[in-house]
């Protein structure tokens, strides 16, 4: 450290002690005002320099400055010529004003403002190095109007739906997204509880989907070097760019960021399934009990391969024109491109209320019965034989050749060919089927199994909830299971859909009915 930097750090520590003492623990608790120990701040900035490279120039930002422990550590680690700009926000003048005075002769711009209300910068004003120990204000200390404002803003900024039970630090994380350059680095010193608790889900989703999560380090309570407050903290490193395929995240524990006591690299795919991240790096991936997946709740089948859609699927008008018996037909869903909404209602007979109404020929009778009782249908089937349809592979392997496989209507069907770049962000759609219609093989059909089948029967309103949950499945989780074809087309097989994580659905069930892994015992 240069002499001036060391001197300023000594003065900063004195200032911190004085300001903390004047404030009192209760008040500091309410505002989440706990300073980062110098050693850790220096370690974090040193680590940032290792990631960025020794020649990197930085535009630095600390959204929750306090007296400026991270700025001080920045100066200790980066040559002054490489610090292009530096700024810090501090809402509390008690800390902010003396901090501004302390750093007045350096390049640090101290903004005495509420970070969560500040307008984000444009282009070249954004930061490529953001280091933050955000205020740890628990959710019950955030007033409801503020919570709503923060939730809306975060959703707008990075798409994350922060839970009402989340602490202020989760909003800081989300709001910072737009303050960073593409590819910029951020190091967050935050409570590690987000790794395991329910409210942390949206944070984890953000970390896995919107940015590249590089590294999570946690402290060992046996290490006396940091104050008690850090025992339950984690340092989270992210790069502001989408994650590469087959990305792996470094989990470390104890020791220092550079020389941890324990270390493990865990794939994003595993993290997506695993609800308790705090088990890493101590546990092996193989030891992790998988969370619930869709096949724990549904039998998934591909829709029907009719043998020849033109022959077996007819409109009501065609059936009438050919004077075929209606009892020989079952309603069937049209192809997804004719479905405008994601919900199909049925009329009194269970036929789908759609503009395109289609019916599948599946007569329950033998050939002899048809010949005797339904001459028009007999003639139609004879035509199928003449044109070679009956001899085709699928028909040839059925007995009789015109009998369809058993596919009762399913309450949920999924379109399984999709493009990941769709505007809606959802490459695959789940459709709620309230009709009696079956589906052809352009769909995957989801049949609820026990216990969800029973519970849905007892509580019909649950059907809609389950459907909503299905549509909330993170697109990446589905794309992760799918295969990619030319032009970015993704295809999902029944087994692959079955492997998609479905922890949210488990939550709809009483605990006793949840499948394996849904009530994990925390072993770590
Ligand atoms: C946990 S302290 C960290 C301070 C310093 N960066 C450090 O690491 O020592 C968080 C700081 O954020 C400030 N703060 C709280 N809410 C804020 C807000 N909305 N905007 C800006 N600063 C805020 C608090 O006053 C406190 O000084």
pLDDT digits (tens, 9 = 90+) for 173-199: 999 999 999 999 999 999 988 998 888
CA–centroid distance, 63 to ligand 1, in Å, is 7
How does residue 327 score in pLDDT terms, banded at 50, 70 and 90?
very high
Residue 523 lies in a domain: no
208-244 burial, b if ≥16 CB within 10 A, otherwise e?
Answer: bbbbbbbbbbbbeeeeeebeeebeebbbbbbbbeebe
Q: What is the pLDDT of residue 519?
A: 40
> Which residue in 262, 295, 292, 297 sits closest to 275, CA to CA?
292
Q: Whose CA is nearest to atom 15 of ligand 1?
A: 135
Give the number of other Cβ atoms within 10 Å of residue 183's Cβ: 10
CA–centroid distance, 170 to ligand 1, in Å, is 13
How does residue 204 score in pLDDT terms, banded at 50, 70 and 90?
very high
Q: Whose CA is nearest to atom 13 of ligand 1?
A: 64
Q: What is the position in ligand 1's atom list of the atom closest to the CA of 67?
A: 5
- Give the orientation angle of helix 3-23 with respect to helix 69-77, to 10 degrees: 170
CA–centroid distance, 289 to ligand 1, in Å, is 38
φ, ψ of residue 160 in degrees (nearest 5): -75, 140
Q: Rounded CA gap, 58 and 181, in Å? A: 11
Pairing relation of β-strands 180-191 and 212-218?
A: unpaired
Give the number of other Cβ atoms within 10 Å of residue 406's Cβ: 9
CA–centroid distance, 95 to ligand 1, in Å, is 9
What average pLDDT does this structure show over 275-299? 75
CA–centroid distance, 62 to ligand 1, in Å, is 9
Q: Whose CA is nearest to atom 9 of ligand 1?
A: 35
Q: What is the position in ligand 1's atom list of the atom closest to the CA of 62?
A: 6
CA–centroid distance, 33 to ligand 1, in Å, is 6
Cis amide linkage into residue 22, ω under 30° from 0: no
Q: What is the pLDDT of residue 476?
A: 62
Best residue among 19, 90, 93 to mutate for probing ligand 1, ranked by most atoms within 8 Å of CB: 90
The CA–CA distances, whole Å, from 263 to 218, 250, 255, 278 equal 10, 7, 10, 13
Locate 377 and state its tokens.
């249908």
Q: Are 409 and 433 in contact (CB under 8 A)?
A: yes
What is the torsion angle, in degrees rounded to the nearest 10, for the CA atoms of residue 360, residue 365, residue 369 and residue 372? -20
What average pLDDT does this structure show over 108-118? 97
Best residue among 22, 25, 65 to mutate for probing ligand 1, ranked by most atoms within 8 Å of CB: 65
Q: What is the pLDDT of residue 225?
A: 54
Q: Whose CA is nearest to atom 5 of ligand 1?
A: 66
| Pair 398, 488 in one domain | no
CA–centroid distance, 66 to ligand 1, in Å, is 5
| Pair 388, 445 in one domain | no
What average pLDDT does this structure show over 16-23? 94
Domain span including residue 326 = 296-362+406-513
Residue 102 lies in a domain: yes
What average pLDDT does this structure show over 4-24? 94
Q: What is the position in ligand 1's atom list of the atom closest to the CA of 32?
A: 1
Report the Cα 260 to chain-centroid distance in Å.
28
CA–centroid distance, 202 to ligand 1, in Å, is 23
Residue 207 lies in a domain: yes
Residue bearing tokens 């809402």:
91
List, for residues 459-502, the tens digit of each pLDDT value.
Answer: 888 899 899 888 877 666 666 555 554 455 567 788 888 888 88
Q: Whose CA is nearest to atom 2 of ligand 1?
A: 33
Give 440's strand partners: 304
Residue 420 lies in a domain: yes
Locate 241 and state its tokens.
């760019």
* Proportion of the chain above pLDDT 70, given as a percent: 88
Contacts of 280 (CB under 8 A, 6+ apart): 216, 251, 264, 266
CA–centroid distance, 40 to ligand 1, in Å, is 16
| Pair 397, 419 in one domain | no
Q: What is the pLDDT of residue 505?
A: 83
How does residue 308 score in pLDDT terms, banded at 50, 70 and 90?
very high
| Pair 62, 153 in one domain | yes
Q: Rounded CA gap, 102 and 332, in Å? A: 74
Best residue among 110, 118, 135 to mutate for probing ligand 1, ranked by most atoms within 8 Å of CB: 135
Task: Give the pocket of ligand 1 (CB within 6 Å).
Answer: 31-36, 62, 64-66, 69-70, 89-92, 95, 114-116, 133, 135
pLDDT at position 412 over 80: yes
- Burial classification of residue 248, based on how many CB atoms lie within 10 Å of its CB (0-12 exposed, 13-18 middle, 19 or more buried): middle
Locate 357 and state its tokens.
């109404």
Residue 97: which CATH number? 3.40.50.12420
Best residue among 27, 91, 97 to mutate for probing ligand 1, ranked by most atoms within 8 Å of CB: 91
How does residue 200 score in pLDDT terms, banded at 50, 70 and 90?
very high
Q: What is the pLDDT of residue 88?
A: 98
Residue 499: which CATH number? 3.90.220
pLDDT at position 285 over 80: no
List, for residues 56-84, the tens digit of each pLDDT value.
Answer: 999 999 999 999 999 999 999 999 999 99
pLDDT at position 205 over 60: yes
| Pair 153, 30 in one domain | yes
CA–centroid distance, 223 to ligand 1, in Å, is 25
Element (DSSP H or E) covering residue 203: helix 201-209
Last residue of a domain, one of 286, 308, 341: 286
Locate 207 and state its tokens.
């970390």
Q: Is 381 helix (H, G, I), strand (E, B) or coil?
A: helix
What average pLDDT does this structure show over 119-127? 92
pLDDT at position 288 over 50: no
| Pair 353, 414 in one domain | yes
> Which residue in 67, 72, 74, 86 sits closest to 48, CA to CA?
74
| Pair 202, 180 in one domain | yes
Phi-psi domain of 68 (left: phi exceeds 0; alpha: psi -120 through 50; beta: other): left
Q: Whose CA is nearest to atom 25 of ligand 1?
A: 92
CA–centroid distance, 78 to ligand 1, in Å, is 23
Q: What is the position in ligand 1's atom list of the atom closest to the CA of 94?
A: 25
| Pair 314, 429 in one domain | yes
Best residue among 15, 35, 66 to mutate for probing ligand 1, ranked by most atoms within 8 Å of CB: 66
> What DSSP string runs through 89-141?
E-S-HHHHHHHHHHTTTSSEEEE-S-GGGSPPPPGGGSEEEEEE------GGG
Element (DSSP H or E) covering residue 505: helix 503-506
Residue 109 lies in a domain: yes
HSE-CB at 35 with a 13 A cutoff on CA atoms is 24
Element (DSSP H or E) covering residue 86: strand 83-89
CA–centroid distance, 133 to ligand 1, in Å, is 7
Q: Whose CA is nearest to atom 10 of ligand 1?
A: 135
Locate 105 and state its tokens.
């002769």
- Burial classification of residue 105, based on how many CB atoms lie within 10 Å of its CB (0-12 exposed, 13-18 middle, 19 or more buried): exposed
Q: Whose CA is nearest to atom 8 of ligand 1?
A: 36
Residue 524 lies in a domain: no
| Pair 392, 268 in one domain | no
Instruction: Give the DSSP letter of residue 35.
Output: P
The CA–CA distances, whole Å, from 177 to 185, 238, 391 equal 11, 10, 60
List, for residues 226-268, the tens digit of each pLDDT value.
Answer: 555 566 789 999 999 999 988 999 999 888 898 898 899 999 9
How does residue 522 score in pLDDT terms, banded at 50, 70 and 90?
very low
| Pair 222, 264 in one domain | yes
HSE-CB at 148 with a 13 A cutoff on CA atoms is 2
Length of the chain: 524
Best residue among 64, 91, 96, 136 to mutate for probing ligand 1, ranked by most atoms within 8 Å of CB: 64
| Pair 444, 494 in one domain | yes
| Pair 421, 349 in one domain | yes
Q: What is the count of structural domains for the chain?
A: 3
Q: Is 286 helix (H, G, I), strand (E, B) or coil?
A: helix
Q: Whose CA is nearest to atom 4 of ligand 1?
A: 66
How does residue 333 score in pLDDT terms, banded at 50, 70 and 90?
very high
- Give the orientation angle of helix 93-102 with respect to helix 3-23, to 10 degrees: 160
Residue 105 lies in a domain: yes
pLDDT at position 150 over 60: yes
């Amino acid at each position: 450290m240069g002499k001036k930097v060391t001197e300023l750090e000594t003065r900063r520590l004195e200032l911190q002690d004085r300001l903390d003492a004047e404030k009192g623990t209760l008040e500091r608790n309410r505002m989440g005002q706990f300073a980062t120990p110098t050693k850790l701040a220096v370690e974090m900035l040193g680590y940032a320099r290792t990631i960025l490279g020794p020649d990197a120039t930085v535009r630095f930002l600390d959204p929750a400055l306090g007296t400026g422990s991270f700025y001080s550590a920045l100066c200790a680690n980066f040559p002054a010529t490489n610090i292009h700009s530096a700024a810090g926000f501090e809402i509390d003048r008690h800390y902010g004003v003396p901090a501004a005075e302390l750093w007045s002769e350096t390049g640090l711009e101290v903004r005495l403002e509420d970070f969560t209300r500040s307008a984000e910068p444009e282009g070249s004003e954004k930061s490529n190095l953001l280091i933050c120990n955000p205020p740890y204000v628990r959710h019950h200390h955030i007033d409801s109007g503020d919570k709503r404002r923060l939730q809306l803003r975060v959703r707008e900024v990075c798409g994350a739906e922060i839970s009402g039970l989340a602490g202020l630090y989760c909003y800081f994380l989300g709001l910072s997204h737009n303050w960073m350059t593409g590819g910029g680095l951020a190091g967050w010193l935050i409570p590690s509880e987000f790794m395991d608790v329910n409210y942390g889900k949206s944070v984890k989703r953000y970390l896995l989907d919107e940015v590249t999560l590089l590294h999570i380090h946690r402290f060992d309570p046996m290490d006396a070097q940091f104050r008690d407050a850090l025992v339950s903290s984690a340092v989270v490193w992210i790069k502001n760019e989408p994650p590469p395929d087959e990305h792996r995240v470094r989990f470390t524990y104890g020791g220092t960021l550079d020389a941890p006591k324990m270390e493990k690299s865990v794939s994003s795919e595993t993290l997506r399934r695993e609800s308790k991240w705090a088990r890493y790096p101590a546990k092996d991936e193989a030891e992790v009990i998988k969370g619930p997946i869709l096949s724990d709740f549904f039998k998934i089948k591909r829709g029907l391969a009719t043998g020849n859609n033109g022959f077996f699927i007819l409109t009501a008008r065609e059936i009438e024109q050919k004077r075929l018996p209606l009892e020989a037909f079952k309603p069937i869903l049209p192809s997804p491109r004719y479905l405008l909404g994601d919900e199909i209602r049925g009329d009194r007979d269970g036929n789908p209320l759609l503009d395109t109404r289609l019916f599948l020929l599946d007569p329950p009778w033998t050939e002899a019965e048809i010949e005797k009782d339904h001459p028009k249908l007999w003639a139609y089937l004879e035509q199928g034989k003449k044109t070679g349809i009956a001899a085709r592979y699928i028909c040839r392997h059925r007995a009789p050749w015109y009998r369809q496989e058993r596919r009762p209507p399913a309450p949920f069907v999924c379109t399984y060919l999709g493009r990941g770049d769709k505007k809606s962000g959802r490459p695959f759609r789940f459709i709620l089927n309230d009709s009696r219609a079956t589906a052809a093989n352009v769909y995957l059909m989801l049949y609820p199994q026990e216990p969800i089948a029973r519970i849905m029967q007892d509580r019909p309103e649950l059907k809609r909830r389950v459907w909503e949950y299905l549509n909330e499945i993170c697109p990446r989780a589905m794309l992760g299971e799918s295969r990619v074809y030319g032009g970015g087309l993704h295809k999902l097989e029944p087994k692959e859909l079955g492997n998609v994580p479905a922890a949210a659905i488990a939550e709809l069930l009483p605990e006793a009915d949840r499948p394996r892994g849904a009530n994990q015992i925390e072993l770590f």
